[in-house]
Amino acid sequence: DARVTQTPRHKVTEMGQEVTMRCQPILGHNTVFWYRQTMMQGLELLAYFRNRAPLDDSGMPKDRFSAEMPDATLATLKIQPSEPRDSAVYFCASGLDLRDRSADTQYFGPGTRLTVL
Amino acid sequence: GENVEQHPSTLSVQEGDSAVIKCTYSDSASNYFPWYKQELGKGPQLIIDIRSNVGEKKDQRIAVTLNKTAKHFSLHITETQPEDSAVYFCAASSFSGGYNKLIFGAGTRLAVHP
């Protein structure tokens, strides 16, 4: 069955290193959301893409985070340089925006658990 | 900003009992209310959702009710089973910046004891 995939599932890195997380949305979906989940903050929205265009990245620390969609089957979230406070689980979700102002259903991937030492 | 409050934060029930989780939201324009189940080490999985033109929706052992006047909605799980143990999140849609985002509750950790 169709599902969102994310790689890697786990990443341990040292402070200052670059981290790239990848997401493959469900085929045919035209929206992608990036979230970060921590015990303290819960689920935080980092970025939103529609038809590959970044429409909202207000949730991301601008100086170190960047998100892109090189094509319709790949979304990336990059952290450079990484810091210990970035340790969290990062989720990608995809949906289908019908442009009728009704909210699209979001389907989540399995997440990338990031640990920055 | 918009807010969703979820109660209780933890819930412990005996197998076979019912479980109810409640959420309130602040954005009166919200029109979509999904519920997600998250098991350990996995991503949130959509289990049921409801749109504002419907007051109640049921799918086997789970049901969701919506009271738009009071701005609250609830998840009901009947005949609970150990495999229902997980963290459950409610969410409400909020249209801003030209798109609908989901505002999530803080989650309810449900434990079903055999």
> Residue B53 pLDDT > 90, yes or no?
no
The chain-wide mean pLDDT, for chain A, equals 94
Could you report the per-residue pLDDT of A18-31, keeping only the tens digit for each?
A: 999 999 999 999 99
Interface size A-B, in CB pairs within 8 Å, comes to 54
Task: Report chain B's terminal Cα–Cα distance, integer Å.
Answer: 41
pLDDT at A3 (0 to 100): 94
Mutate: best of A106, A107, A113, partner B, most B CBs <10 A:
A106
Average pLDDT over residues B66-73: 95
CA distance B101 to B90: 13
Q: Which residues contact B38 (CB under 8 A, 6 or more apart)?
A: B44, B45, B86, B87, B88, B89, B107
Average pLDDT over residues A2-23: 97
pLDDT at A41 (0 to 100): 83
Could you report the per-residue pLDDT of A78-93, keeping only the tens digit for each?
A: 999 999 999 999 999 9
pLDDT at B20 (0 to 100): 98
The reply to whether B27 touches chain A by the CB within 8 Å rule is no
**Cβ pair A91:B97 closer than 8 A:** no
